[in-house]
Homo-oligomer: A and B are copies of this chain.
Amino acid sequence: MSQEEVILPLGDFADLDRGGPIPLYFQLAQKIESAIKDGRLAPGSRLENEIALGNRLSLSRPTVRRAIQELVDKGLLVRRRGVGTQVVHGQIHRKVELTSLHEDLSNGGKAPSTKVLEIKRSNADQKIAGHLNVKVGSPVLMIKRLRFADNVPVAILENWLPEDFVDLADENLASHGLYQLLKARGVSIKVAQQNIGARKSNTAESEMLNVEKGSALLTMERTAFDATGKAVEWGHHCYRPDLYSFEVTLVEK
């Protein structure tokens, strides 16, 4: 048996909420995803084809396709023309998302907390102005924070925000993530460009992160853009690599 056996996702895909606010393709994608995660769809098994699945659920083919495409984009499924759709082998990691460190830690079962080290209103120098796409000299807010997970220092976060946010209240920063605060002001991050690297820690960093001087740090630089495409945040962070790493899932298009 060189061919993987064909397993059909049976039964309970029929209960779709057609009137509700949740898109049908999304509901279907969730159902298939949970079937994969709890083993009802085994790694390597083939899915029912798009048309049959659509007929069975009374969905049009584009809707079924879109549901499947979501999972292909997440790296859970693989499709081949003329062959079919299969579940990817190997245990599935959590998907890549645009999250802040604050959320990452919460989701990981750690209790995040934050100490605001510095918060300063100033004017953009050339570097900051370039990253935020604002004029040199325009007002910006600099925030420097130390992030803890279960009371252990994990990361030093330095962020700059443009003019619109220079009045961000520092007391909120201690209890909420930066992205949470921005969201509360109606700003949601849509796109972020990150660059991940490494370097040695200096004296100050070593003390703050409670590591030896000269130990390796994981670093990240990021520019984040809102729904209008404007840069709303630029920052560089450094992390204790024994406590934090970046997970990425890549999908060939």
Residues in A lying within 8 Å of B, measured CB to CB: 4, 43-44, 62, 75, 77-78, 80, 86-90, 93, 96-98, 131, 133, 188-200, 214-219, 223, 225-231, 241, 245-252
Residues of B close to A227: CB separation below 8 A: 78, 80
A contact patch SS? strand
When the two chains form their complex, are residues B89 and A246 in contact, meaning their CB atoms are under 8 A apart?
Answer: no
Residues of B close to A192: CB separation below 8 A: 249-250
When the two chains form their complex, are residues A89 and B200 in contact, meaning their CB atoms are under 8 A apart?
Answer: no
Given contacts A196-B196, A241-B199, contact A190 B252 (CB under 8 A): yes
- Can you list the 8 inter-chain pairs with the closest CB atoms, starting with the nearest? A216-B216, A198-B198, A197-B245, A88-B229, A198-B241, A198-B218, A98-B250, A75-B191
Q: How far is the CA of A199 from the CA of B218 in the complex (A)?
A: 8
Residues of B close to A230: CB separation below 8 A: 44, 89
Residues of B close to A75: CB separation below 8 A: 191, 193, 225
**Seed contacts A4-B228, A78-B190, A195-B245; 13 additional CB < 8 Å A-B pairs:** A44-B230, A75-B191, A75-B193, A78-B226, A80-B227, A90-B131, A90-B193, A98-B250, A193-B248, A196-B246, A196-B248, A198-B218, A199-B241
